[in-house]
Structure 1
Amino acid sequence: MVSERGTTGPAHGVRAGRAGLAGDRVVAAGSAARTLVAATARALRGADCADLGHPRGMSRLSGAPEPVRRAAAARAAGRVALTVGQAAEVDADRVARWFADQYPRRRYPGVLLGSPHGAAAHLAVALGIPWLPTGFELSVHWPQGAVDGPQAALDHGAALAARLLVGNPELHVRQVHCPASRGALAGATVALAAHWRWLPTAYLRLLVECLEPGAPVLLLCDARTWPVVDSAPGHSFQIGCPGSGFDPVDFHPDSPALRQVLHAAGSDGARWCPPEVAGAPRLAEHGVEPGFEQSVREWGAVHRHPSHRVLVPEPAVLSAATADLYRHWLRAAGKTGNRLVVECGRLLDPWQVVRAGMVPYWCENATRRSVEGAEWWLAGSEPFSSVDVLPEPPGLRSPAVAGLPQWLAVAGFGRRRRALDRSAARGYPVSSVPTRRATEVLRAQSYDLPTPPPMTVAAALAALRDGGSQQGLLVS
């Protein structure tokens, strides 16, 4: 029996005999946390991501007229989204158990919790430890929704959050209305990011049963901020998000960039009237709840497992520090460390990266800012003999999205091999590519076996401190 007293908050969300929706039905298809847990768990079992698909099979419509493509995308999203009634059937404990149960039950030299980031999956695999998210995303139907109606989205989302929180008091629900990153889908479904306010029971059980004595617990925290509206206890709302490639001011009604985005999503933007935001910006949708961090520290102190926090100011900083860490790790094992793969979004495969002895750099998405981070890091790094680039098409048009010439410039840093995946480039940016495409590309790389022995957590933390401190990465 796992002891929870004093470590996970009042009442701990215990529900005797409650039957909720299965975790794989609740967690949004294609969401970052879902993809990263699946990829990390497979890698720890010595398997790749060949069976991972993608929720939107829209590649065949990349050349269709915009209204046709938008309608098809909305229908596809509706098929996998929760209904309004199902919001009350969500059981956050069951979701946590679904995440934790994907990992092999054995002893681990540590565990990595926190915000979703592709480099976190690669870091976990190098250490031979699980990665678990501190929250999960849901997509819920929005009947008669409008991409240019943020106030209506808030009203609808508040009702959904109230249903969800009745049975899940351990959650905080952040609603994100972002036409810049979701396009027309922002008017068809509501996006909710649910965060645990303390360690869920399934995570506690994994820590107790699977951690080696004295093994550390690492907590990865996305430190980006964004203007937030408090709607009701347990529910907050934000318009736009850092991953959109825009700034908060770009979501003002007079913004030319916003007008472009809304036009691409099928709206003229005339009804765009966002709720007023008061106060200072707060942690954005991928942040970690303060109570969750406190419960990690309390559990570690009680059970004699040291805890460490990795505070990430921007995704590119952790991507660069992890890529440098991989290069040193590979070279310490007698490998060259001169072959790079630049991944993007869901296009990653940690096991195939290790099998091929490659260095991974992960871009959060296909925005210009994200790709520029890769360019700056490459410009300041020792040259790579080969660079393979896997751009994930965002499925929409936006002035913030990087063009193919910018992706080609990234590949151009390779001294002998410069490869941009043609399947991902075909129909870019409005096409769709399954997660397994990364596996197909990486399987074609030459093997570099045996794989290096796992890196120690102490060595990884030291490398992150050395490689990321100047860019604001804080390891404590």
Structure 2
Amino acid sequence: MQEHRAGPGSGDPAPNRIVAADSTARTLLAACARALRGEDCADLGQHSVLARFRGAPESVRRAAIARAGTRAAVPAERVGQLDAEAVARWMTDHYRPGSFPGAVLGSPHGAAAHLAVALGVPWLPAGFEMAVAWPDGAADDPGAALRYARPLATRLLAANPGTAVRQVHDPVGRGVLAGAAVTMVVRWRRLPRAYRRFLTERLAPGAPVLTLRDARTWPVLPAGPGYGFQVGSPGGGLDAADFAPDSAALTEVLRCVGGDRRRWDPPQPDGPPDQAEHGVEPGLEADLRAWAHAAGRPLHRVLFPRPEALSAAVADVYRAWLRSAGKTGDRCVVECGRLVDPWQVVRSGLVPYWCEGATQRSVAGAEWWLAGSEPFSSVDVLPEPPGLHSPALAGLPQWLAVASFGRRRSAVDRIAARGYPVTSVPTRHATEVLRGQPYDLPIPPPLRMPDLVAGLRTGGAAHGLLVG
């Protein structure tokens, strides 16, 4: 990715190294910033480490991926030097100079980026994901992952008291990389100074702010002040119960990563589930409310129980927005993971539906929404191959079923489907595919925040959205 605009002080790890290159939030930030400049994602060429070395024998491939993952991660000795405020500045520096008519903040979700672009406003994440090198790690030993990362999290939090850390050990979503690096999601517990300055100086007078919060929960072990540990993730497509040692799904996953089920002995949370890793810290929301009240700005809040709910509600709003501008709103694109390009979607007059990942659960959400929607003349599908095998993944027949809802045209991208699921394609591939769509110009006037909120309230209730 060509995202190297800003860096912290001398000796600190640079934000472009800290923020995981393959994280959804980083891709969405880059895509949204480009779209607001009238640019597509043709230069976003980051490939997943999991997709490398495909011609090697499986055992050799796993070892090579692990070494590559360790090299790409932040060295453990640098974690205490991490500056979360510098990361926040790096994120706001993505956006062009000038004033904006509002802002969207919160959990990483492809529909959030599409909303922001339709509104003509920036999107900023409520945190960021980072990988820390674990040279002697093991994907099948979550207890060792916790023991290794606990002192690292302590140092990180001491240097950044305005943050919280959620460690995620997930061989389902990370595969071999779960044993090469520990994954930490750093969330802001209060509004970063860079965000506060950006909102104060770069938004037009009275401009509204919208927060989007992923309300999913997951078993979490409190491992220290501001520090939680979770095994697995709702985004991986399995349930929390599937991470029990006697789970058939877990056995299959560990076999795929070269692990041993007999070593699997995760620490057991003894309390109720907490918000999952991509939630929004209550302190950040409270800080944002106080800022908005003092600045006299409207603040709207949307909680979504599942990513599919927000995807469906936003797609419905998008279709109504296109039609209000005299367009048909009759062509749909189903995106997945990092295969997004908000600018090409707007340029083509497409209705976007975003799948969080290539899981059966996520793809089924797209099927249900299309089945209940007014038919589309065309449905194009961009499945992102995750680069690994998992019992939770959707097969190509399920992706074909999604595309079949197009009355005149139904297409699953052939390059993404070739070698699925172990291959990988970069974000720019979505741009290459969407550039082939016919232009539908002029672009509609920006969506107004009151119309968006009204549309989410009207159509979102059926999907379980809470709009305030």
Show the counterpart of 1:296: 288
Contact 2:50–2:388 (8 Å) recurs in 1: no
Match of 2:123 among 127, 131, 135: 131
Secondary structure at 1:33's aligned position in 2? Answer: helix
Offset, 1:109: 1.3
Q: How far, CA to CA, are the matches of 1:40 and 1:300 in structure 2? A: 23
Offset, 1:60: 6.4
Q: How far, CA to CA, are the matches of 1:24 and 1:463 in structure 2? A: 36
Offset, 1:180: 0.8
1:455 aligns with 2:429: no
Q: Equivalent pairs: percent with the same residue?
A: 64
1:247 aligns with 2:219: no
Match of 1:371 among 360, 363, 368: 363
Letter in 1 for 2:269: V
Letter in 2 for 1:424: A
Contact 2:312–2:463 (8 Å) recurs in 1: no
CA RMSD of aligned residues (A): 1.3
Show the counterpart of 1:145: 137
**Shift in CA distance, 63/339, structure 1 to aligned 2, threshold 3 Å:** farther
Q: How far, CA to CA, are the matches of 2:166 and 2:17 in structure 1? A: 19
Show the counterpart of 1:37: 29
Show the counterpart of 1:4: none
**Shift in CA distance, 58/171, structure 1 to aligned 2, threshold 3 Å:** closer
1:382 aligns with 2:374: yes
Show the counterpart of 2:19: 27
1:421 aligns with 2:424: no
Q: How far, CA to CA, are the matches of 1:85 and 1:59 in structure 2? A: 28
Letter in 2 for 1:151: G
Offset, 1:57: 5.8
- Describe the superposition over 1:64-112 as per-residue Cα deviations: whole angstroms up to 9, x where unpaired: 4322332232233223210111111210000000000101121111110
Q: How far, CA to CA, are the matches of 2:49 and 2:132 in structure 1? A: 19
Contact 2:70–2:134 (8 Å) recurs in 1: no
Secondary structure at 2:406's aligned position in 1? Answer: coil
1:183 aligns with 2:167: no
Offset, 1:276: 1.6
Letter in 1 for 2:104: L
Letter in 2 for 1:120: A
Matches within 5 A, 1:66-105: 66-105=58-97
The runs of 5 or more residues in structure 2 that have no matched partner are 1-7
| Count of aligned positions | 461
Matches within 5 A, 1:307-318: 307-318=299-310
Q: How far, CA to CA, are the matches of 1:105 and 1:249 in structure 2? A: 48
Q: How far, CA to CA, are the matches of 2:15 and 2:178 in structure 1? A: 23
Letter in 2 for 1:286: H
- Describe the superposition over 1:232-257 as per-residue Cα deviations: whole angstroms up to 9, x where unpaired: 11211000010010111000001010
Show the counterpart of 1:5: none
Secondary structure at 1:418's aligned position in 2? Answer: strand
Matches within 5 A, 1:324-343: 324-343=316-335
Show the counterpart of 1:204: 196
Deviates more, 1:283-292 or 1:162-171: 162-171
**Shift in CA distance, 352/237, structure 1 to aligned 2, threshold 3 Å:** same
**Shift in CA distance, 444/57, structure 1 to aligned 2, threshold 3 Å:** farther
Match of 2:346 among 354, 363, 374: 354
Deviates more, 1:462-471 or 1:117-126: 462-471
Letter in 2 for 1:284: A
Could you tell me the TM-score, scaled by structure 1's length?
A: 0.95
Q: How far, CA to CA, are the matches of 1:56 and 1:39 in structure 2? A: 17
Q: How far, CA to CA, are the matches of 2:79 and 2:200 in structure 1? A: 31
Show the counterpart of 1:283: 275
- Describe the superposition over 1:314-342 as per-residue Cα deviations: whole angstroms up to 9, x where unpaired: 00000001111111111111111111110
Contact 2:53–2:65 (8 Å) recurs in 1: no
Could you tell me the TM-score, scaled by structure 2's length?
A: 0.96
Offset, 1:371: 0.1
Offset, 1:155: 0.6
Contact 2:389–2:421 (8 Å) recurs in 1: yes
Contact 1:56–1:73 (8 Å) recurs in 2: no
Secondary structure at 1:270's aligned position in 2? Answer: helix
The runs of 5 or more residues in structure 1 that have no matched partner are 1-15
- Describe the superposition over 1:392-444 as per-residue Cα deviations: whole angstroms up to 9, x where unpaired: 00111011000001001111111111111111011110111101000000001
Q: How far, CA to CA, are the matches of 2:62 and 2:251 in structure 1? A: 17
Show the counterpart of 2:5: none
Secondary structure at 1:175's aligned position in 2? Answer: strand
Offset, 1:470: 1.6
Contact 1:348–1:435 (8 Å) recurs in 2: yes
